[in-house]
Structure 1
């Protein structure tokens, strides 16, 4: 057999690192936004000939297990020289695609190495425990039951309300009231072993907005989760940012969720004087307004006359794209920047 440098014979390779187009060199993989994972495996026969085998994974439990392993990887210093046996592609629900390199040996107990297809000189190791989970999934034909078993115990179920964001409205409305973002039912997860920007705490499940007075008495509630297509997840405590974008005198605000390595998807809401909250429609952004910002969960938009301006990084053209919107009485309509 011709000598072939197989990384998995020396240091088995596992998954790659998400590299954001314009932001962090290491990004966060959000399993909720991935619709499919494709793996192309080049297996070598005794005569040195290669045979390609493609595996497709769409089960949510498997995708979550893969994402967790990626998010808990750690940077390896130095420049790498390796051969890998997998190429990997993550497909997101909005059509966005990320490409990676994956080498994976079948021998358990070894650490893994993660690489981005865009920068193969930088590597990230995966713990042997997480590497073994992925080996079992991939080489057992992606059994969904196995994936769910591997994910057991990763999160603690919680009953709310648990307040993630408490916002004093006195500087905004002049009233001694508070707007709180609360988890009603869901799970809490914490992981301190990763270098990911979203390392640490994570809350997922059903959320609401609750308006209270100084004594904590409820003035109104709003079922926030009903306004998002996927289950909500927040990786940190944060403050909601307010401004009046449609000029009606009521404070407006954004709530965002991870979209891709280049930004988040934000919904726009307004708080009325009668203690009710409504979503403000944005033309062409039913799933959310895609914005590149370090403020992942609530961003203050740039105000313009009768509306706002937002921007995002577009990988296809390699630059920031600005979009302006003005209120037409019923919705924010896109206009020339």
Structure 2
């Protein structure tokens, strides 16, 4: 059926909004697999690439994430044929389902829709659609010059300070707690319209505690808490509060978790200058929280603990969870 090829140009001409996509930022680093199924729509003259396939290749995942991050919302009613369903599987087990309409013929845009809200359509540019169809219908390769451009970055040997925090308002001491990149890369991407476009630092990070003269008092390697390579897309400030009532300042550090939320780990600073992670039962991979503060958030305090909240796409509602300190760890509190 060819009507999609006729409809999309009209929709793009008169209905295309200038808004960013509504998925949030799709971080390819956090996706472990893309599961895709194909259904040949009646009237389409194209070769079936597969019935179902699991993509774990980083090149495919990066290309798909880039196409999603740069997609644009189409306003109004849609009339389309969908020939691909796919699921993004994240490392923590979280899944997101989407619908893709992509013809085999080069030079046409593609149509992308969230499975839960299939009336909301997003157009994928011809450039990105051609990259996808080459991987899906073609030989699976992308010209080397494009790969090099996507991977362009500057290797760094730290320390490079991404977050510098004065502790005198928190502890009364003239000290600083810094989050630093020790080894990794710095890159810039101004071509994407995603919320995380721009500068980013990725690699091995540590927390460093210093006095006002810069003397190092202690350090804490964040690889102890985060098994995956860390990425920060902006300079930011740590948010401090005492959540377990021991008088010591606690703080969160977050990473991308899904299109709707970030995953946060909780840490504490002790009087002897040591730093440790506060354990949270049932949330070993982190606290899933919907918040615009991607890298550090101040939690909602409750009696003996805190409360978190995130939006669940599958349930279509906000999910709240309360945690209480039991003397050695936080655990879920009864509603």
Determine if the TM-score, normalized by the shorter chain, exceeds 0.5. Answer: yes
Q: Displacement of 1:100 after TM fit?
A: 1.6
Q: Retained in 2: the 8 A contact 1:111–1:127?
A: yes
Q: Is 1:40 paired with 2:45? A: no
Q: Deviations over 1:121-144 (max 9, x none)?
A: 54433343333322222123646x
Distance 1:45 1:329, change over 3 A: closer
Q: Is 1:193 paired with 2:191? A: yes
Q: Which residue of 2 aligns with 1:325?
A: 323
Q: Retained in 2: the 8 A contact 1:90–1:99?
A: yes
Q: Which residue of 2 aligns with 1:5?
A: 2
Q: Which residue among 137, 148, 153 is the counterpart of 1:152?
A: 148
Please list every run of 5 or more consecutive structure 2 residues that lacks an aligned counterpart in the other structure: 10-20
Q: Matched residues in 1 for 2:63 and 2:143: separation?
A: 7
Q: Retained in 2: the 8 A contact 1:263–1:290?
A: yes
Q: Displacement of 1:243 after TM fit?
A: 0.5
Partner of 1:43: helix, strand, or coil? Answer: coil
Distance 1:109 1:41, change over 3 A: same
Q: TM-score, normalised on structure 2?
A: 0.84
Q: Which residue of 1 aligns with 2:12?
A: none
Q: Which residue of 1 aligns with 2:114?
A: 116
Q: TM-score, normalised on structure 1?
A: 0.83
Q: Matched residues in 1 for 2:281 and 2:88: separation?
A: 28
Q: Displacement of 1:164 after TM fit?
A: 1.6
In the alignment of these two chains, the number of paired residues is 321
Q: Matched residues in 1 for 2:316 and 2:72: separation?
A: 28
Q: Which residue of 1 aligns with 2:176?
A: 178
Q: Retained in 2: the 8 A contact 1:34–1:90?
A: yes
Q: Displacement of 1:267 after TM fit?
A: 0.6
Q: Retained in 1: the 8 A contact 2:41–2:82?
A: no
Please list every run of 5 or more consecutive structure 1 residues that lacks an aligned counterpart in the other structure: 13-23
Distance 1:65 1:149, change over 3 A: farther
Q: Which residue among 129, 143, 146 is the counterpart of 1:131?
A: 129
Q: Retained in 1: the 8 A contact 2:46–2:104?
A: no
Q: Retained in 2: the 8 A contact 1:133–1:150?
A: no
Q: Matched residues in 1 for 2:313 and 2:131: separation?
A: 32
Q: Retained in 2: the 8 A contact 1:307–1:327?
A: yes
Q: Matched residues in 2 for 1:251 and 1:141: separation?
A: 55
Q: Displacement of 1:279 after TM fit?
A: 0.5
Q: Matched residues in 2 for 1:251 and 1:91: separation?
A: 35
Deviates further, 114-123 or 304-313: 114-123
Deviates further, 147-156 or 127-136: 147-156
Q: Which residue of 2 aligns with 1:214?
A: 212
Q: Deviations over 1:29-73 (max 9, x none)?
A: 122222221222233687989977222201233212211221122
Which structure has more RCO (C-alpha within 8 Å, separation ≥ 6)?
A: 1
Q: Matched residues in 1 for 2:282 and 2:120: separation?
A: 38
Distance 1:208 1:94, change over 3 A: same
Q: Matched residues in 2 for 1:39 and 1:138: separation?
A: 10
Q: Matched residues in 2 for 1:219 and 1:103: separation?
A: 56
Q: Displacement of 1:241 after TM fit?
A: 0.3
Deviating runs (4+, > 4 A) in structure 1? Answer: 8-12, 44-52, 76-79, 146-150
Q: Matched residues in 2 for 1:316 and 1:45: separation?
A: 30
Deviates further, 307-316 or 169-178: 307-316
Q: Which residue of 2 aligns with 1:71?
A: 69
Q: Which residue of 2 aligns with 1:16?
A: none
Q: Is 1:290 paired with 2:315? A: no
Q: Retained in 2: the 8 A contact 1:28–1:261?
A: yes
Partner of 2:133: helix, strand, or coil? Answer: helix
